[in-house]
Amino acid sequence: MSVADLGRPSFTSGNWMVTEGNEEAFVEAWNLVAAWCLEHARGARSFHLIRDVADRRHFVSFGEWEELDDITVSRASPEFLRLFRKAQGLCDTFSGSDYEVALAAVAGE
């Protein structure tokens, strides 16, 4: 394992508590957000949605972007906002943040 030089990517993360009974609809709605970003958003690299094994209503999302400005531009898109708000509307609570890499440890490098 070594510390990798990944350039200056930025990340988004969301902490989602889905309203009971909306779990499948939420996953589908979040997938539409991720798919839109990958197809239309400049700098979008990858997106992951993970689910809490102890609380099936709790999800955490991660998005990787080339740079922070790409996130800002994407969030200004009316279509992004429409899709994002649909996913958010299926939740009791949501909080999100933007991040930069402090350290990356990568296996095999």
Q: What is the mean pLDDT of the chain?
A: 92
pLDDT value at residue 97: 97
Higher confidence at residue 100 or residue 21? 21
pLDDT in tens, 12-38: 999 999 999 999 999 999 999 999 999
Whole-prediction pTM: 0.89
Fold of 2-9+19-106: Alpha-Beta Plaits (3.30.70)
Q: Where are the domains of the chain?
A: 2-9+19-106
Buried b (16+ CB within 10 A) or exposed e, 45-76: eebebeeeeeeebbbebebbbeebebbeebee
Which residues lie closer than 8 Å to 53 by C-beta, 6 or more apart?
none
How does pLDDT run across 77-90, given as a tens digit for each residue?
999 999 999 999 99
- How high is the pLDDT of residue 2? 38
Tell me what pLDDT residue 14 has. Answer: 98
